[in-house]
Amino acid sequence: MKTKGILNSELIKIMARMGHGDLLAVTDRGFPFPLHANTATVDLSVTENLPRFIDVVTPIVQDFEIEEAIIAEETKTVNPPVHEALLGLLSKKKNKGSDIRIRYIQHAEFKDLVLHGGERGEPVACFVKTGEFTPYANVILVSSVPF
């Protein structure tokens, strides 16, 4: 029996199948589910604010090779506590010795990316919905490799 790190079997399975450049989105409760049939989804929400966004994203960041984090620009001003917590978490993680790149985009672009896929239409590989009831508690993590 697994007793440390991420315990959700579906989330572990999906993350293990991801490769370099794949996108993993973690969102608040209000974010719509992606429209791509090839996006694996995990809805962890139980009730209002259970689990919280930062409580879900923390073990994912700890257990995932990340080269870039994409955050909606509006998060800075609309939800500063989540923004600061996310930046603090990401600042502790390195990508081959370097800091994780942070890219800010407008929320409409962020939403379009999650719902419809990237520039070439490739879907977000994994979509995780939390029970977070505060706005703009969302991040897209771009997968890296450890070598």
Write the CB contacts of 113 (distance below 8 Å, at least 6 apart in sequence).
23, 70, 105, 124, 140
The answer to whether residue 83 is catalytic is no
Q: Which of 20, 36, 83, 107 is catalytic?
A: 20
Q: Are 27 and 137 in contact (CB under 8 A)?
A: yes
Q: Are 82 and 137 in contact (CB under 8 A)?
A: yes
CA distance 14 to 116: 19
CA-closest candidate to residue 139, choices 78, 98, 80, 82: 82
Active-site residues, by number, are 20
